[in-house]
Amino acid sequence: MPSTPSPDSKITTALLPAEPFLPDWHRIRDRSKLDWAAPIRAAIATDARHWRDRIAIPGPEGETAWTHFYFCDDDGARLIFDTELPTDHRCSHCGRRYHDDHRNGAWRTQLHNLIAAQTQRYAVLARTSEDQQETAALVDELATIIDQYADSYQLYRRHGEHAGIGQVMPQSLDESIWLITLLRSVRWVEDLLPATTLGGARRLAAQAVDLLRPQVSMIHNIHCWMLAALAEAAVRLADDELFGFTRDSAYGVKAQLSKGFRAEGLWYEVNSHYHYYTVAALLSWYEAAGPGSLDDHGTATLARAVSAPPLLAYSDGLLPAYGDGWPEGRIGNHAAPAEVAAGLLPDAGIDVSRYYAQPLEQPVKIWLGGGDQHHGVSAPIRGRSSVAALVFGPDDVDPHPVDPHPVDPPPVDPPPVDLAQPAGSTAEPSFCWPGSGIASVRNAEVRITLRSGPDAGGHDHHDKLAVDVETAGGWRSLDLGTSGYGADFTNWLRSPAAHSTVFVGDSRQPSCDGEIIDFSPTHAVGAVSWPGCRLERRIELINGGWTDTFEIELDQSDRIEWVFHGDGRIITPAARRSSNSLGDQLGHDHLREQHRVAVDQGSVELTWDRPGSPTATIGVPDDFAVYTAVADGNPTGHPLGSVIIRGAAAGATVAATFRF
């Protein structure tokens, strides 16, 4: 985790801005008739009508639970949320049913989120309606929800075990997002609401402050969400001191921006899911705080955070699922923060079009409050399809940008390398982000990304020197990411055997910092060490492929295991079913169809049975054994074919050459 300021730092009292960011509703009402915007508003109206008579606020007699429980133990798939089935939850993939307290509580959490999202639908529709009776009815529906929560909030019992304490919700994170959505909806229609509802919103805000403020205590995405919720509360309560706490305290927004982001603009937890999750929280804070609430450094950091991640995307827009990242995420799934950033930071040159280079067809997403788990019936929309686009984004976006890279690329330290590619290459340029520990070498045939950066906190899979690969023919070796944290299947996804790197002994790599120690447009070298162990990996592009050399040096002999996986089952002429099990620890129990491969004069040759796959010739250290196996969880949907090289020694070199 990044270094943090002393908790004894003084809290600076700061005057609230003259007003928070307020959408230009006259402009939004006019452009809601445009070809791209009209379907968004229509979808919001469809979903609002559908849920109006189908939702009721769950009472305080039943506690909420972690939504990460709402996944199947067998395959990691999400369960199907049905508002009429509070105790019956079915896997969306295999159909297995669950009836336990954890899933029942997670169901209540999702219902509270859905109700909060409904208030935002009412606010947007009320502000863009040209019918006074319709506007009044929508505001009345919104006020009813706020009044009910304000009257009952104190009856909910504080609880939580995974990420702080919640009251209506199971943890501080969910409580914050729920509160932001409610208070934002109030702020958007404040002049239309009765005084009694505004008074209820103030009571709700004050009680939530008592819950959340004492929990802000570190540089972390969850604490960014608490700060955003407290900023909305500060606006509602007109509390200058509380606003100063959210911005200037030891773990306030200024500290989160300066300590939590690497120089290139990537959040320290590395994976794109938590990166955008944090960016959304900070943009939510900035919306409530208002223009001018951050200095140039803060706004530049937010702008870089939106501009950097598209560089990591694969050719179809899929983003790598490093650590606890969701494996299905594409750059287009994260267009909403870019749309909001474009509206909040008009002088930052945010290029929203980069998020629509591969337009997706998606349901209309609420800006927070159910945005990640869409609960609606409206038809998906291709391209711009969010409340964020309608309320914050530019009037026009070219979905096919000529240059997918930012005009001002994220800075690196040391200075940027020469991004020139080998002669004749048509691929996007190679790049190195030393601050984040990511180096990507690319040409027209292949892109390979090597990771060896600082520890990524609680969502680090401890897989330094892992690689992910995409070939021009479509074959991929991906990071598997993860699923719902409460599902048994996630134990496999987090295990050492699920990652293309080296691990030593009978445990995962420890928490440690690695680095990229050498880089050019055609090669990258990463290194990591911990007491008793030093690892170095070199990736180099060659004509028709690449080489991969992994050097391991130990203070004393121990088991060394080298793993590399990719799309499809492995084909090798010299394999037989293994009589020696690889074991049932460290993820080996998820490897099936295990075969031992004969080593011929110190090497093995193999390939995968999917189009575009390379042929690998791997040098095997003396007395090491080679195995192949198949596993589940590959984000591409193909079988995951793994090659494992295992032996005991005080040091070894595994040298592989991959050719097309």
The enclosing domain of 546 has a CATH number of: 2.70.98.70
Rg of the chain, C-alpha, whole Å = 26
**Residue 608: inside a domain:** yes
Backbone conformation region of residue 462, classed left if phi is above 0, alpha if psi is from -120 to 50, else beta: left
Structure token pair of residue 520: 């050019």
CB atoms within 10 A of CB 529: 15
Structure token pair of residue 500: 């293309």
pLDDT digits (tens, 9 = 90+) for 519-532: 999 999 999 999 99
Alpha helices in 345-405 (DSSP H): 387-391
Give the model's confidence band at 406: pLDDT under 50 very low, under 70 low, under 90 confident, else very high.
Answer: very low
Does residue 37 sit in the same domain as residue 141? yes
Structure token pair of residue 115: 């109700």
Give the model's confidence band at 376: pLDDT under 50 very low, under 70 low, under 90 confident, else very high.
Answer: low
**Residue 413: inside a domain:** no
CB atoms within 10 A of CB 413: 11
E-only strand ranges, 65-140: 79-80, 89-91, 97-98
Question: SS3 for 612?
Answer: coil
Q: Which of 328, 306, 308, 307 is nearest to 318 (CA)?
A: 328
The model's pTM: 0.91
Return the residue matching tokens 């492929």: 545
Pairing of strands 431-433, 476-477: unpaired
Cross-strand pairs, 561 = 503, 646
* The predicted structure's pLDDT at residue 424: 34
Structure token pair of residue 537: 């990996």
Does residue 268 sit in the same domain as residue 180? yes
Does residue 327 sit in the same domain as residue 445? no
Is 283:184 a contact under the CB 8 Å cutoff? no
* The predicted structure's pLDDT at residue 17: 64
In degrees, rounded to 5, the angle at the alpha carbon of residue 48 between the alpha carbons of residues 193 and 143 is: 20
Helix (H) or strand (E) holding 562: strand 545-567
Does residue 529 sit in the same domain as residue 621? yes
pLDDT digits (tens, 9 = 90+) for 537-569: 999 999 999 999 999 999 999 999 999 999 999
Mean pLDDT of 309-334: 93
pLDDT digits (tens, 9 = 90+) for 187-241: 999 999 999 999 999 999 999 999 999 999 999 999 999 999 999 999 999 999 9
Amino acid (one-letter) located at 441: V
**Residue 12: inside a domain:** no
Does residue 81 sit in the same domain as residue 175? yes
Does residue 386 sit in the same domain as residue 442? no
CA gap 626, 647 in Å, rounded: 9
Give the model's confidence band at 487: pLDDT under 50 very low, under 70 low, under 90 confident, else very high.
Answer: confident
Q: Which residues contact 324 (CB under 8 A, 6 or more apart)?
A: 269, 271, 273, 274, 459, 461, 481, 482, 485, 494
Does residue 299 sit in the same domain as residue 223? yes
Distance of CA 497 to the CA centre of its chain: 22
**Residue 400: inside a domain:** no
Q: Taking the C-alpha atoms of 417, 423, 427 and 433 in order, what is their torsion angle to the nearest 10 degrees? A: -10
Does residue 132 sit in the same domain as residue 197? yes
Q: Taking the C-alpha atoms of 126, 131, 136 and 138 in order, what is their torsion angle to the nearest 10 degrees? A: -40
Domain boundary among 339, 363, 391: 391
Indicate if the pLDDT at residue 485 is higher than 70.
yes
Looking up residue 63, the CATH number of its domain turns out to be 1.50.10.100
**Residue 3: inside a domain:** no
**Residue 99: inside a domain:** yes
* The predicted structure's pLDDT at residue 581: 78
Does residue 544 sit in the same domain as residue 604? yes
Does residue 354 sit in the same domain as residue 438? no
Q: Which of 155-164, 431-440, 538-547 has the lowest mean pLDDT?
A: 155-164
* The predicted structure's pLDDT at residue 12: 53
Distance of CA 13 to the CA centre of its chain: 33
* 361 vs 5, higher pLDDT: 361
String of DSSP letters for 514-552: EEEEEEETTEEEEEEEETTEEEEEEEEEETTEEEEEEEE
Does residue 460 sit in the same domain as residue 366? no
CA gap 404, 88 in Å, rounded: 45
Cross-strand pairs, 166 = 159
Cross-strand pairs, 85 = none
Domain boundary among 339, 359, 391: 391
**Residue 145: inside a domain:** yes
Is 235:288 a contact under the CB 8 Å cutoff? yes
Range of the domain at 226: 25-391
Domain boundary among 372, 391, 410: 391
Q: Which of 159-163, 438-442, 566-570, 620-624 has the lowest mean pLDDT?
A: 159-163
Q: For the chain, how many structural domains are there in total?
A: 2
CA gap 573, 553 in Å, rounded: 31
**Residue 6: inside a domain:** no
Question: SS3 for 204?
Answer: helix
Does residue 605 sit in the same domain as residue 491? yes
CA gap 80, 94 in Å, rounded: 11
Indicate if the pLDDT at residue 421 is higher than 60.
no
Indicate if the pLDDT at residue 576 is higher than 90.
no
CB burial string 149-167: b at 16+ within 10 A, e below: bbeebeebeeebebbbbbb
